Structure 1
Amino acid sequence: MTHPHESQEPSGPHDGLPAGTGAGPVRHLPGHIAAALAGAGGPTDSAGQPWAGRSLSGDDAKIHNFEDDDGAADAGYLAALADLAEGTGDEAAVVAALATARVFVPILAQLAEEGEGAAGKHGEELQGDKLHGDKQADMALVTLKAPDGRTAMPVFTSAAALEAWHPEARPVAVYAARAALSAVAEGAQLLVLDPGSEVTFVVRRPAVWALAQQKTWTPSYADPELAGALGEGAAGFPAVRRVEIHPGGGVASAMADGRRLPGGGAGPELRVVLYLEDGLDAAGVQSIVAGLNNAWARNEIFAERVDSIEVKLQRAAP
């Protein structure tokens, strides 16, 4: 419940623009991520086999690079999820476990004339799901549309989970880091692990970028360097007495049995609490929030490490 002297302004997904703004210029990838993509190839799969002419049937449907793979989910990932559910682990540990995990990327062998096909049978988990691809191609990576309009790439930790989601999709086995690179290349801001399964875990944009670069990811709400950057940005606003960061309301996710998992949500993942001096009118508060949004959006640390944000306003103690 919001305290009487508090107010809250949730902001949409952060894409390098002030929260709440409309469409703006195209966001450019940081140079180190662009370089990683440039060296990642594109016309071949993870084993260097060309996509062109692949029928995805018979020998072409085999899993490359993972001999004796039984299709089960990675044990380290499952253990990290279990720790998260029990309260002994966190989101960062789940993403770290993915760094060495094999996942399956779904490929659709046939496309409709318009370049779109039916979503998986559990596609209602993300509203308005579509399968997108070049209508001239005979295969395509699958992408989804999240409820907030962002593009998401589904990946699966087990062959059984992929088959249950879409029986006609073909599994391509890759390390999760390679799947993250593919997501960035496709313009997907989210990786959605095992949609429609008992546990669906969303890897948000900053974690996708870290995974693609095989770097350690720290959630924005636990990032002291980011907290310092936000504080510095507020230094030009004397009415802001203090800035705090906390997990946002969208960090948690729902399991199939109704239990809440304290991680794996689509966001907003960062809550910024602004402690303001007393006596400000509505116009003054709005001006401060807009000014801070603009200042933060120009900050490289904020732009790269924050996926989505909600701002909570609170009266500072006298």
Structure 2
Amino acid sequence: MASEPGTPPSRQLPGHIAAALAGAGGATDSAGRPWAGRSLAGDDAKIHNFDDDDGTADAGYLAAVAGLRAGTGSESSVVASLATARVFIPIVAQLAEEEESAHGLQADKQADMALVTLKAADGRTAMPAFTSAAALPAWHPEARPVAVYAARAALSAVAEGAELLVLDPGADVTFVVRRPAVWALAQQQDWVPSYLDADLAAEMGRAAGSFPAVRRIELLPGRGVASRAADGTAIPGGGAGPELQVVLYLEDGLDAAGVQQLVAGLQAEWSRNVLFGERVDSIEIKLRRAAE
């Protein structure tokens, strides 16, 4: 039977993320220290936590990616390694105001610095981040690297309306952190892929129980979980999605219209579930006979 892709509708931001975004630009920094009375001398001169950073990729991240490539690691291990990793996000100059010179020529009067965002193949906004300082100028020579913890990069992605965090675009291995993992990273929580999420499977199974023609469901990795290294090697993770394949085992006797109505009803039921909205990035549905 045919497979049908789908993407859950946009959901309200989790409370922790909304609170963090609401606090941006406030009277204190992210550690709660007041901005008032600060100087640029002494301890205050240290404007970030990476003054002694040599710009190389985080060892934990490299080990997690190596494990994934070797088949001994997992997507969740790679995302977990980002919890304490430093990354570089690219910003570029963006003309904010222009003026005419004495000779009638246009000249830049004021420029702002802006985060770089990308458009994914499915039209969603993605934010690039780089695990090493050398990887960023190789991708965009005019971009300036800003060192941040990966969790802060994830929060910035949410603030920019980006659903994907793309690590090292154009490098040997490009790893895409999908929306549920971006949200978990921004909240500094553990992430479990939807195809391994027992709580999610139970919720989706309960919803499917309202449709008598559905005998059982099975959650598997979707076709979009895998990615490829620059040399063509297949990697079992880091893809942009769809990341969840839902197999519906149906009773015999349903015609095409009945199947279509059932799938539409199930998707509508799942889309109203808060857990589904938070933990599923995109799905594909495969139909099988219950006897299979």
Partner residue in 1 for 2:291: 317
- Residue in 1 aligned with 2:68? 84
Aligned-pair CA distance for 1:29: 1.3
Give the CA RMSD over aligned residues: 2.5
User: Does 2:198 align with 1:203?
Assistant: no
Hey, what's the Cα distance between the residues in 1 that align with 2:164 and 2:9?
A: 12
Task: List aligned pairs for 1:39-78, cutoff 5 A.
Answer: 39-41=23-25, 64-78=48-62
- Partners of 2:25 and 2:73 in 1: how far apart? 35
**Of 87, 90, 95, which residue of structure 2 is paired with 1:106?**
90
For residues 22-37 of structure 1, what are the structure 2 equivalents within 5 Å?
Answer: 27-37=11-21
Aligned residue number for residue 107 of structure 2: none
Runs (4+) off by over 6 Å:
42-48
| Aligned residue type for 1:180 | A
Q: Is the 8 A contact 1:248 1:268 kept in 2?
A: yes
If you compute each CA radius of gyration, which structure gives the higher value, 1 or 2? Answer: 2
Instruction: Pick one of 130, 140, 154 that aligns with 1:180.
Output: 154
Residues 40 and 181, structure 1, Cα contact 8 Å, conserved in 2: no
- Please tell me whether residue 243 in structure 1 is matched to residue 237 in structure 2: no
Question: 1:162·1:171 contact (CA, 8 Å) conserved in 2?
Answer: yes
Over residues 225-250 of structure 1, what are the superposed CA-to-partner deviations in whole Å (9 max), with x where a residue is unaligned? 00001101111100000000000000
Tell me which amino acid in the other structure corresponds to 1:14: P
What is the 5 A alignment of 1:141-152? 141-152=115-126
What is the identity percentage for the equivalent residue pairs of Structure 1 and Structure 2? 76
- Structure 1 pair 29–288 and aligned structure 2 pair: CA distance change class (3 A): same
- Counterpart selection for 2:9 from 10, 15, 18: 15
Note closer, same or farther for the CA distance 1:280–1:101 as it changes in structure 2 (3 Å cut): same
Q: Please tell me whether residue 140 in structure 1 is matched to residue 114 in structure 2.
A: yes
**Counterpart in 2 of 1:254?**
228
Structure 1 residue 9, shift from structure 2 partner: 1.2
Question: What is the alpha-carbon distance in structure 1 between the residues aligned to residue 95 and residue 111 of structure 2?
Answer: 8
TM-score (norm 1): 0.80
TM-score calculated relative to the size of structure 2: 0.87
SS in 2 for 1:207: helix
CA distance in 2, matches of 1:255, 1:245: 26
Q: How far apart are residue 112 of structure 1 and its match?
A: 8.3
2:133 matched residue in structure 1: 159
CA–CA separation in structure 1 for the residues paired with 2:225 and 2:63:
19
Deviation at 1:8, TM superposition (A): 1.3
Other structure's SS at 2:241 match: coil
**In 1, Cα distance between equivalents of 2:253 and 2:28:** 62
Q: CA deviation at 1:32?
A: 2.7
| Residues 230, 212 of structure 1: alpha-carbon distance in 2 compared, 3 angstrom cutoff | same
State the Cα distance separating 1:104 from its structure 2 match. Answer: 0.2
Aligned to 2:273: 299
1:50-71 deviation digits (Å, cap 9, x = unpaired): 9xxxxxxxxxxx9832021111
Match of 1:282 in 2: 256
**Count of matched residue positions in the alignment of Structure 1 and Structure 2:** 271
**Would the aligned equivalents of 1:276 and 1:315 in 2 still touch at CA under 8 Å?**
yes
Q: CA deviation at 1:93?
A: 0.3
Cα distance change of structure 1 residues 41 and 77 upon mapping to structure 2, 3 Å threshold: farther
Contact 2:97/2:111 (8 A) holds in 1 = no
Aligned partners of 2:60 and 2:81 also within 8 Å: yes
